[in-house]
Amino acid sequence: MDFYNVVERRHSVRLYQAREVEQEKLQRILEAANRAPSAGNKQAYEIILVRDLKRKWLLCEASLDQRFITEAPVVLVFLASPGRNHARYGQRGAQLYALQDATVACAYAQLAATAEGLDTCWVGAFNDDAVAAAVEAPRTMRPVAVLPIGYAAEQAAPTSRRPLNDLVQNETVRK
């Protein structure tokens, strides 16, 4: 699929079929995430691959009971891992770059999933501590995104966007 078709085709899907995600597709999605840029190439994030239903329920409860998390066959949890870049970048690395590294990797995974004919929904509304506990992450790591991946069981409605002339300003920020 052409890159711009992928971007156009990606919509948030909140209803999934029980159909499994093929291992080779998942592998390519994870490899795409691993190609994402990161500050100083430190890759200050971790990806937890969740298939266990009990753990998905914990993630669901940690995320305002968003049930579709339990229905997706695969859920990826992206965590900022500041310990990986702190030595080089200090507080800026820990507080900003690690979050950005995890965010970019999740965006790559999301688009790769679309390219594979799969669907996703970025979940960010969660209790950090509860998500961290669900995946048994150490306290030093901060959950950034939960990404259910599967085959859609609904036709997602395209969403609107701000017009470019509102979003993009030439040279200065409008007051």
Ligand X SMILES: Cc1cc2nc3c(=O)[nH]c(=O)nc-3n(C[C@H](O)[C@H](O)[C@H](O)COP(=O)(O)O)c2cc1C
Report the interface residues with ligand X, using CB under 6 A: 11-12, 14, 66, 121-125, 156, 159
In the chain, DSSP assigns E strands to: 45-50, 74-80, 119-120, 142-150
Q: How far is the CB of 159 from ligand X (least distance, A)?
A: 4
Structure tokens at 83: 């310990």
Q: How far is the CB of 65 from ligand X (least distance, A)?
A: 11
- Nearer to ligand X (CB atom), residue 56 or residue 86: 56
Classify the C-alpha dihedral 164-167-173-174 as positive or negative. positive
- Nearer to ligand X (CB atom), residue 85 or residue 110: 110
113 contacts 145 by C-beta, under 8 angstroms: no
Alpha helices in 94-136 (DSSP H): 98-115, 128-134
Q: How far is the CB of 170 from ligand X (least distance, A)?
A: 26
Give the span between the Cα atoms of 54 and 130, in whole angstroms. Answer: 14
- Nearer to ligand X (CB atom), residue 66 or residue 85: 66
Q: How far is the CB of 11 from ligand X (least distance, A)?
A: 4
- Nearer to ligand X (CB atom), residue 19 or residue 67: 67
The residue with its CB nearest to ligand X is 124
**Nearest one of 154, 175, 172, 166 to 11, comparing CA atoms:** 154
